[in-house]
Structure 1
């Protein structure tokens, strides 16, 4: 009888210790605002980004599963405009969003993007310092600290105001965003952000890896120019207007 009592007490004490450890681990996690404040500082500060009205990125793209490489150009303009072209020689990929319509074409005429992709572009393509404000999400929480792409990272679960769910990963030490996992009806897509470099006092990832079922698409950015691109580059193809 005495032995049973001792075991029970030990179990209660162990449970209390485990609960205490869990509370301490949870208490060590920063708030969402603290994560984004560190991120903002790491990429140059909110004041520097607030002046940005658009940018032009140039570099190369590697379609690993097809063994193809080519030039990459992407234009971003206010409030959420985007145009991207990848010239692979045998094929040119053209994608864009004019603020209302998203399209993509790969040598067979322009096709309208699925509604979920259009919604995602409308919400995630932000100019200025908006991308550094967690208030743009309907819901956000720091879930855990875990390893992502070989680095210790804070994992944030966010829900956009349009209802899309995704995870964001921020390097514990540098504060930089190093990855995302975006959910969609077609499944989850993982994106890795590496090799941050400074352009005009602001930092951007210069190696973006999109993990896809058939293989990776790797974007390597060599130059970034800030300023609003010519509005004509964002016009949808004539057949979609």
Structure 2
């Protein structure tokens, strides 16, 4: 019988290759599933039960666009039915308002006046009005997949690719240390067309059992918008706050 001699160096090389490969396999196996990450975040912020106790949310804070030398105040309101209003006061520049009353998405801004928003941009505004939008309902996604452990804005985060059934896809980043959402990168519809938006959220604080980020940084490739919220209150928004402004009502087709 013929014997094949294998040198000690060859055996050593094979052993080293196996050792090098082991951490890679282990790392791939160690990635948590998208569902595990979403469930961990939802539990950390209080879950649906914490939000279900309330009928509306009002957030007040400041906004800064450093590249344009603009500062102002921001107010955001949502209710459980999905209605949404955002008001931004920019001093001499004027006020910017936008909202969704359950049927009509609209915008009023300086120099352009009132507008009815339709199509993908309207869907985007409707999404902003989702009272439970900070949570992850599996029925909203066509697919959800953990891609890798990556660096995101100075934090180690699990990168998850999400494809929505309603249309659109993007990446959500979950802080590996806290389990909380650290940000989202996706294409959004805007008055300037489709743009890639990076939203970074941080400084989570507890408000009546609901943990929410108090700092939001939005990057759209042209300038950054920094929002810092100082006050969050529940169940104090009057239903009339979501009514269409008169200038917008005039544009609604009977």
TM-score (normalizing by structure 1): 0.87
SS at match of 1:80: coil
Match of 1:233 in 2: 241
2: CA distance, partners of 1:13 / 1:114: 60
Is residue 77–residue 228 contact of structure 1 (8 Å, CA) maintained in 2?
no
Report the aligned-residue RMSD: 2.7
Distance in 2 between residues matched to 1:23 and 1:114, nearest whole Å: 47
Is structure 2 residue 232 aligned with structure 1 residue 224? yes
Tell me the distance in 1 between the aligned counterparts of 2:221 and 2:170. Answer: 18
Give the equivalent residue in structure 1 for 2:120: 116
Highest CA radius of gyration, 1 or 2? 2
Q: Do structure 1's residue 50 and structure 2's residue 52 form an aligned pair?
A: yes
**Which of 95, 100, 118 is the matching residue for 2:103?**
100
For structure 2, the 5+ residue unaligned runs are none
Distance 1:17 1:116, change over 3 A: farther
Map of 1:165 onto structure 2: 169
Pick aligned residue for 2:32 from 26, 30, 33: 30
Task: Give the TM-score normalised by structure 2.
Answer: 0.83
The aligned residue for residue 144 of structure 2 is 140
SS at match of 1:186: strand
Contact kept in structure 1, 2:78 and 2:131, CA below 8 Å: yes
Per-residue CA deviation, residues 197-241 of structure 1 (Å, 9 max, x unaligned), is: 111121111111111222111111011111263222222321332
CA distance in 2, matches of 1:33, 1:137: 11
Write out aligned runs for 1:17-96 (5 A). Answer: 20-90=22-92, 91-96=94-99
3-state secondary structure, aligned to 1:132 = coil
Between the aligned partners of 1:53 and 1:18, the Cα distance in structure 2 is 55
